[in-house]
Amino acid sequence: MPNRVRYAPSPTGFLHIGNARTALFNYLFARKTGGQMIVRIEDTDTERNVDTGIENQLSMLKWLGIDWDESIDRPGDYGPYRQLERLDIYQAIAQQLMDQGHAYKCYCTKEELEAEKAAQIARGEDKYHYSRKCLHAPEQDKPYAIRFLVPENQTYTFHDLVKGEVTFKSEDIGDWVMVKQNGIPTYNFACAVDDHFMEITHVLRGEDHITNTPRQMMIYHALGWDVPTYGHMTLIVNQHGKKLSKRDGDIIQFIEQYKNLGYAPEALFNFIALLGFSPGEQELLTPAELIEVFSAEKLSNHPATFDPQKLQFINHQTLKNLDLETFKTYTKPHLEAAGLITDQDEAWVDSLLEVFQERTTYGQEIVPLTESFLNAPFEWDEEMRTLMQEEGVKVLLQTFKDGLDPHHFDPVTLKAWIKESGQKTGAKGKMLFMPLRIATTASMHGPELPKLMHLLGFETILERLEKSLQWVVSS
């Protein structure tokens, strides 16, 4: 039988970095081992469910490049794939557990449970366990929950793929609710039942789920089911070593935000894969390469630090190596939204993007990069003024201006004319390129000067050269 893993999102929110990592590691494991990946919708928290939560989860997974073998959009032999459509399964298993003496009805009200807990706290008890007052209660015509009867003096030990051997004691766990009074199963019960009937062989999930494992193992043991192999991935922390939280305002949390900012999905895929996984010396890897090198044994048991600069580096490397047409899909929409391109022809847009592709970290960044070039006032600072007073600058600017031809104003011709202007005037190196750059772009640094001149156009360059010459002559 092939390995079967599952990613089980709740529609209580949109896909964020933590959930995306869980899905990605399950995907890598399934594809590396020739197994199958299932996406199961755990929608039993009806009060917190968001209308577009699942749509966002699935669409953002697909955008990242993660696919699956079975789910609500790809039915297989193990459905339904929404927990609310599996209530009859949970009800039958809950009844079986009660019939076998592993579970019982609890008629306690919320107020009674709160009073019981308060009394235990008042007595100085350090952990709250249900008192089992309903364990042998007679049948009553009132709402009830169903609790699992935790065995006494039992240990639950499993080999975790990340953490090694892990043990829990039953004495640390009180009789827990399997089914709420409204008939909806709790997470641990539904999860264990679904994993069994969907024949899940490996459960890869976040470290915050590790304390759920013994409760799920209790269900398996009580029913004589095989326990899957577990692997609990370490926490993702911020650069201060604190658990990544939605309150970390300096870290973008949701995958859709990265898409809207113009990040490349393969770069985000690469970065997320490195959050708790070490592929070796080479870290810039394609999805196919990551599948090839992935191994659950390489999952780290140390917290994974979310480094925004590392993500930007990976995305920068990805963007600058794209062909121009693909790069345009990440950047042109942002230029249009900012009103920086309107009626320019496509060749001019291509030239603009080509000039700034090397410098673009993410798609939306093309806006400030090009805006400072296209719309910044033509003004010199003190350092520029000092350099423009150097001997030979006037002759260079005049020579270059006089040789410009509006009919031959392409980057190749301009590059050749810059070189020839230097030969004619004796200017070279810094004193050739820097005065021409300042005189045409009011900047001392930037992309290739001939390409910038071409983008600004003949009329603008001529006007700026004349203005620069007037200043040089009068200074």
Residue 347 has which token pair?
């060749």
The H-or-E segment that residue 30 falls in is: helix 17-33
CB atoms within 10 A of CB 229: 17
Spatial neighbors of 6 by CB under 8 A, at least 6 apart, are: 26, 37, 38, 39, 40, 195, 198, 200, 203
Report which DSSP code applies to 408: S
**How many Cα atoms occupy the beta-carbon half-sphere of 436 within 13 Å?**
27
3-class SS at 305? strand
Its sign, for the CA torsion 121, 123, 126, 130, is negative
CB atoms within 10 A of CB 420: 13
Told to judge if 246 belongs to the known catalytic residues of this protein, a careful annotator would answer yes
Q: Write down the number of H helices and E strands in the chain.
A: 19, 11
Rg (CA), the chain: 32
Spatial neighbors of 377 by CB under 8 A, at least 6 apart, are: 442
Catalytic residue of the set 243, 246, 298, 430: 246
Characterize the bridge pairing of strands 145-148 and 177-179: antiparallel
Instruction: Name the one residue in this structure whose structure tokens are 């296209």.
Output: 374
Residue 311 has which token pair?
């993500």
Which amino acids are annotated catalytic? 246
